[in-house]
Amino acid sequence: MDLFTNQIDPNQNILPNDGTVNYFGPIVELEKADFYFERLLNTISWEHDEIHMFGKHITTKRKVGWYGEEPFEYTYSNTTKKALFWTPELMELKNLTESRTNETYNSCLLNLYHSGEEGMGWHTDDERELKPNGAIASLSFGAERKFAFKHKTTKEKVELWLDHGSLLVMKGETQTHWLHRLPPTKKIGAPRINLTFRTIKL
């Protein structure tokens, strides 16, 4: 079943079972969201992601940034990155996200998608450095994009649109039972920046 949420209720779990995902809709007003998009675009140390998979070396079109309260090392797809210290905007956005989600985070992975043709394939955020079942909060700026969940065993799908300035949180057993992705599309030309606040195990 495909579900498109048009009514926004942050208390509603958009997953039918095996995890919790809440969509808050936009949590910063439009002008502020435009400001953050511009600022993040110009101040984050964006780098192409180097992925080592199946013996191949791939450079993604999408760019990434990795920040945190300590120089945490984070390994995914056989690449290790060392976190840079929070920028002022990241610190503000972290505080806002913590107060809205009632959770704490110590790091943030940023993704810059230059257009709809860049996306992210099916995956779970369950790297060994992350606190098991820790909340992952996702902030989006720029082009509105579709986001999808797929249950690992039942294959059930849940889809929604992530708006400019919006917040989504994935909690509980979500990463154990569900995959998620950002599908690529030729219909969207504008760029998008996504921030996922995470907790690295100390």
Interface ranges with ligand AKG (CB under 6 A): 109, 111, 120, 125, 138, 147, 162, 180, 182, 194, 196
Query: What is the x/- site pattern for Fe ion, positions 66-95, by CB under 5 A?
Result: ------------------------------
Q: With CB under 5 A as the contact rule, which of the stretches 42-50, 84-92, 120-128, 140-148 interacts with Fe ion? A: 120-128
Least distance in Å: CB of 16 to ligand AKG? 20
From the list Fe ion, ligand AKG, none, which binds 138 (C-beta under 5 to 8 Å, kind-based)?
ligand AKG
- Nearest residue (CB) to ligand AKG, 97 versus 196: 196
Q: How far apart are CA 130 and CA 34, in angstroms?
A: 30
From the list Fe ion, ligand AKG, none, which binds 182 (C-beta under 5 to 8 Å, kind-based)?
ligand AKG
Q: Are 171 and 79 in contact (CB under 8 A)?
A: no
Residue nearest to ligand AKG (CB): 194
Q: Is 37 helix (H, G, I), strand (E, B) or coil?
A: helix
Q: How far apart are CA 107 and CA 195, in angstroms?
A: 10
- Nearest residue (CB) to Fe ion, 34 versus 183: 183
Q: How far apart are CA 43 and CA 48, in angstroms?
A: 15
State which amino acid sits at residue 180. Answer: H
How many residues in the shown chain lie near Fe ion by CB under 5 A?
1
Q: Are 75 and 131 in contact (CB under 8 A)?
A: no
Q: Are 92 and 86 in contact (CB under 8 A)?
A: no
Q: Is the dihedral of CA 148, 170, 154, 126 positive or negative?
A: positive
- Nearest residue (CB) to ligand AKG, 125 versus 159: 125
Q: Is the dihedral of CA 62, 85, 21, 127 positive or negative?
A: positive
Least distance in Å: CB of 123 to Fe ion? 6
Task: Kindly state whether residue 159 participates in binding Fe ion, applying the rule CB under 5 A.
Answer: no
Residues that bind Fe ion (CB under 5 A): 125
